[in-house]
């Protein structure tokens, strides 16, 4: 039943990393909460660095320094 949404900046997350995030998050739900993998959703959102702000600035600006 868990639904897990992972939001990260779109800075080159590879297919392998996505698989690792999905496996790791699902495994955590199984181990900690005894949830069923087949009804555990993991959704990864990749956000443009122009669209993510922290400390008043866009990540694009922060990366540019």
**Residue found under tokens 């959102």:** 45
The question of whether 2 is a catalytic residue gets the answer yes
Q: Give the nearest distance from C-beta 65 to a copy of itself in angstroms.
A: 14
Q: In angstroms, rounded to a whole number, what is the distance separating the alpha carbons of residues 39 and 22? A: 13
Q: Which residues bind a copy of itself (CB under 8 A)?
A: 1-9, 13, 15, 17-29, 31-33, 35, 37-47, 50-61
Q: In angstroms, rounded to a whole number, what is the distance separating the alpha carbons of residues 62 and 49? A: 9
Q: Give the nearest distance from C-beta 49 to a copy of itself in angstroms.
A: 9
Residues that are catalytic: 2
């Amino acid at each position: 039943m868990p639904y897990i949404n992972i939001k990260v900046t779109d800075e080159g997350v590879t297919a392998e990393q996505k698989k690792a995030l999905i496996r790791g998050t699902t495994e955590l739900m199984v181990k900690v909460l005894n949830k069923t993998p087949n009804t555990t959703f993991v959704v990864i959102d990749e956000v443009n660095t122009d669209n993510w702000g922290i400390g008043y600035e866009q990540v694009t600006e922060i990366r540019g320094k």
